Amino acid sequence: MTTDEALDARFGPVYERIAAGALEREAQRRLPFQEVEWLRAAGFGRIRVPEEDGGLGATLTQLFRQLIALGRADSNLPQLLRGHIGFVESRLGHADPDNRKRWLRRIVDGALVGNAQSEESSPSFWQNATTVRRVDGGWRLDGRKFYSTGSLFADWILTTATVDGDHSAIVLVPATAPGVRRLDDWDGFGQRLTGSGTTVFEDVPIADEDVEPYENGAPRPSSQAAIYQLVHLATLAGIGQAAVADAVAYVAQRTRNLANPAHPRPRLDPQVQQVVGRVQSKSFAATATTLAAVGVLERGAGDAADAAVFAAQAAVIELVLGLTTELFEVGGASAVTERFRLDRHWRNARTLASHNPVITRQTVLGDHLLNGTSPSTWVRRTWEAVRETRERGQSSS
């Protein structure tokens, strides 16, 4: 089994190279294609694949420690790999051994999987205007996905599509297949380099083995929601660490202390020291909370894991948004200059915090604690509401 020390030795130098160019990429809005290739070459994509299958055999906790370190180097990188990470977990536990073997082999060979899910025109995340239909022994895919994080960098794109009124399908699409268009049109104010733009599918041919139908609202592996959310939390924890490091570096280079001339060097000012200590405390707590939730998941998927991750979500978001706002107190107006780009930490954290709304997860968690409702049933309940609406429309027509 691999160790944290071995993983640090393998990936640490890559993170240093990534961090060295992070500010320049941010300023120029240069997508990190080269940096993704560094990670691919180092084997990051196969970090969770068992050693006997050609991977590195990392535990979940080891994976998320590395994601936090990568998020500290550049928060765009763990987010753009989020689809790949979730997909690998889905294959590790896949019921079909041939499917598992086929995909783990591709991943070990270096394949990266991007994610294209949400649609602007759909009333909910779970409903898809994108369709996949049977044609001549295979399938054809048509649709448009608005959030396609990581797909610009990927070899395969994981998407979902409607099969019929009661069934949808997981669809795995070769990124360079005819009819696939990947657009760099993400215009959010944070996480600008994740390739989270639009993907268009126009009569894309799909092999039969790469379409996996399922019943709408049927129970799905509950660990998947936890894994996807934990990637965001690890990225946020990494942002917190980077923000503290930048605050310390900013103070260290300052020689002017307008607000408290009794301490001409800001690093000797007790008020500045207090701010730095406070933001470090919040960063430490965000990291510890994230890894604690990972630990619950590692002990077993299910309601306890979902509840732990949903609880951690609100806490980590509050901590990191707080410290990325408060860090400006170490330097006043001088800290907002473009030269330091300290604002990127708050912008990136705020963007990540907007995913999978906290208010929804808090409601699900409260219902679980008060009424014993399984967190995994919220998907089923969503589909039940969709069916009821559809049935009312049919009965009134």
* pLDDT value of position 375: 87
Structural domain boundaries in the chain: 4-111, 115-215, 222-380
What CATH number is given for 115-215 in this structure?
2.40.110.10
* Fold entry, domain 4-111: Butyryl-Coa Dehydrogenase, subunit A; domain 1 (1.10.540)
* pLDDT value of position 183: 95
Right CATH for 222-380 from 2.60.120.10, 1.20.140.10, 3.30.420.40, 3.90.1150.10: 1.20.140.10
* pLDDT value of position 42: 98
* pLDDT value of position 360: 87
- Going residue by residue through the chain, which has 397 residues, state the pLDDT in tens, using 9 for 90 and above: 899 999 999 999 999 999 999 999 999 999 999 999 999 999 999 999 999 999 999 999 999 999 999 999 999 999 999 999 999 999 998 989 999 999 999 999 999 999 998 888 766 556 789 999 999 888 999 999 998 999 999 999 999 999 998 899 999 999 999 999 999 999 999 999 999 999 999 999 999 999 999 988 776 656 888 999 999 999 999 999 999 999 999 999 887 765 666 677 888 888 899 999 999 999 999 999 999 999 999 998 889 999 999 999 999 999 999 999 999 998 877 778 888 889 999 999 999 999 888 998 899 999 999 999 988 887 677 667 666 766 666 666 5
- Convert the chain into a string of H (helix), E (strand) and C (coil): CCCHHHHHHHHHHHHHHHHHCHHHHHHHCCCCHHHHHHHHHHCHHHCCCCHHHCCCCCCHHHHHHHHHHHHHHCCHHHHHCHHHHHHHHHHHCCCCHHHHHHHHHHHHCCCCEEEECCCCCCCCCCCCCCEEEEECCEEEEEEEECCCCCHHHCCEEEEEEEEECCEEEEEEEECCCCCEEECCCCCCCCCCCCCCCCEEEEEEEECHHHEEEEECCCCCCHHHHHHHHHHHHHHHHHHHHHHHHHHHHHHHHCCCCCCCCCCCCHHHCHHHHHHHHHHHHHHHHHHHHHHHHHHHHHCCCCHHHHHHHHHHHHHHHHHHHHHHHHHHHHCHHHHHCCCCCCHHHHHHHHHHHCCCCHHHHHHHHHHHHHHCCCCCHHHHHHHHHHHHHHHHHHHHC
